[in-house]
Structure 1
Amino acid sequence: MARTKADRNGQENIMTPEQITLIQQSFSKVAPMSEQAAVLFYDRLFEVAPSVRAMFPEDMTEQRKKLMGMLAAVVGGLSNLETILPAASALAKRHVAYGAKAEHYPVVGATLLWTLEKGLGQAWTPELATAWTDAYGVLSGYMISEAYGAQAQAAE
């Protein structure tokens, strides 16, 4: 099972192998349409959180590629989270320099789930939604803790 550090209640966050498989299979359907998925994601993010638009470049081409590359790396590393945690920590700390705050993470997570639901259509099931929600919760909790300390994660 994939694990990360203990969460705010001292419990280890665990993703089941079945959840990891669901996520990896669903992402394999999203990857071929990665450009469209990234456009959909950022359009939605800027719609629901217009204040974050200023954190991004005018030309989003490279940013969209970075998003999809990061998602591919995370999805590929879910079976062995320890391999992706150093990169997640570095990414979290870079985001602080860009002006990201802990309270942005839930908005980004909701936007990611919305994008996946739109992109996957009928393949988006309650089980898949739970798997992606759990994966995002594990990773974002770790990143918030790395970037802002344990107090920020507890406030999440």
Structure 2
Amino acid sequence: MSLTSLKPLTPKPTFCISNGSGVDMSASSVRVGPKLGATFSQFRELSWVNRDDGSRAGLVICSRTTKSISGWHRRQGLQVRAFTEEQEALVVKSWNRIRKDAAELGLKFFLRIFEIAPSAKKLFTFLKDSEVPLEKNPKLKSHAMTVFVMTCESAVQLRKEGKVTVRESNLKDLGATHFKYGVVDEHFEVTKFALLETIKEAVPEMWSPEMKNSWGQAYDQLAAAIKTEMKPASSV
């Protein structure tokens, strides 16, 4: 059964993963076999990310789904569940700790997104043809802080409000904007990963599987709410 080489990997890993799933990752390429079929028919890129245990996993970015090759984390949909009092406490506790550093963390959040998925930069018109380094771009800094604060405050208010709420905007506007710029499922997955990593690095002594799950579930509910509203803006 033949395999098709897709593209070189950067940086080159020092190991090979071949788990019988239809994907081989070697020192210089990722190859996808027929078993995965159309899932990878719109392949975009592959990035390496660090897992909690210190090992590295390949994150394949395509227009239909996002897969973590090592461990095969695949999300087919978002399930909205009740946000518990314990989850709320973990989110509030960590947010109270990091809120004062929202500007710095917001920028780190977006730089992590672009590190994982460089193609995501194309979604932001203010970055087009800009020669200013990302970490010094004032428009990116402002946008990054706004999005980071909005995302975190949505998580903090989730249980109290009983629904997803966002500051200085509404879900219809967010949905229409995401639709307009062609945001797809894997962008939400990359953003989630970057968000969790950013918070984890900000509060390493507080971080736990329970806190990770709490922030992850809150983000999933925000993403689900935005996706529901992803449609063309209504004409006035």
Using the size of structure 2 for normalisation, the TM-score is: 0.53
Match of 1:40 among 84, 108, 133: 108
Change (3 A) 1:89 1:26: farther
Aligned match of 1:53: 121
Q: Partner of 2:184: helix, strand, or coil?
A: coil
Which of the pair has the greater relative contact order for Cα pairs under 8 Å at 6+ separation? Answer: 1
Q: Give the whole-Å Cα distance in 1 for the aligned partners of 2:152 and 2:191.
A: 16
Instruction: Count residues in correspondence.
Output: 140
Using the size of structure 1 for normalisation, the TM-score is: 0.78
Aligned match of 1:17: 85
Q: Give the whole-Å Cα distance in 1 for the aligned partners of 2:87 and 2:156.
A: 13
Query: Are 1:89 and 1:146, in contact at CA under 8 Å, matched by a contact in 2?
Result: yes
Change (3 A) 1:99 1:91: same
Aligned match of 2:157: 77
Q: Give the whole-Å Cα distance in 1 for the aligned partners of 2:152 and 2:215.
A: 13
Considering fraction of residues, name the structure with more strand. Answer: 2
The higher radius of gyration belongs to 2
C-alpha displacement of 1:72: 4.4
Considering fraction of residues, name the structure with more helix. Answer: 1
Q: Give the whole-Å Cα distance in 1 for the aligned partners of 2:155 and 2:221.
A: 12
Aligned match of 1:131: 214
Change (3 A) 1:131 1:73: closer
Q: Give the whole-Å Cα distance in 2 for the aligned partners of 1:20 and 1:143.
A: 21
Q: Partner of 2:230: helix, strand, or coil?
A: helix
Stretches of structure 2 that go unaligned for 5 or more consecutive residues are 1-76, 128-136, 232-236
Match of 1:122 among 205, 208, 212: 205
Q: More displaced, 11-20 or 124-133? A: 11-20
RMSD: 2.3
Q: More displaced, 130-139 or 67-76? A: 67-76
What's the CA shift string for 1:114-142, capped at 9, x where partnerless? 11111111111111011111111122122
Structure 1 runs of 4+ aligned residues shifted over 6 Å read none
Stretches of structure 1 that go unaligned for 5 or more consecutive residues are 1-7, 149-156
Query: Are 1:27 and 1:75, in contact at CA under 8 Å, matched by a contact in 2?
Result: no
Counterpart code for 1:133:
G
Q: Give the whole-Å Cα distance in 1 for the aligned partners of 2:121 and 2:80.
A: 34
What's the CA shift string for 1:63-93, capped at 9, x where partnerless? 1231133124313421214361782342122
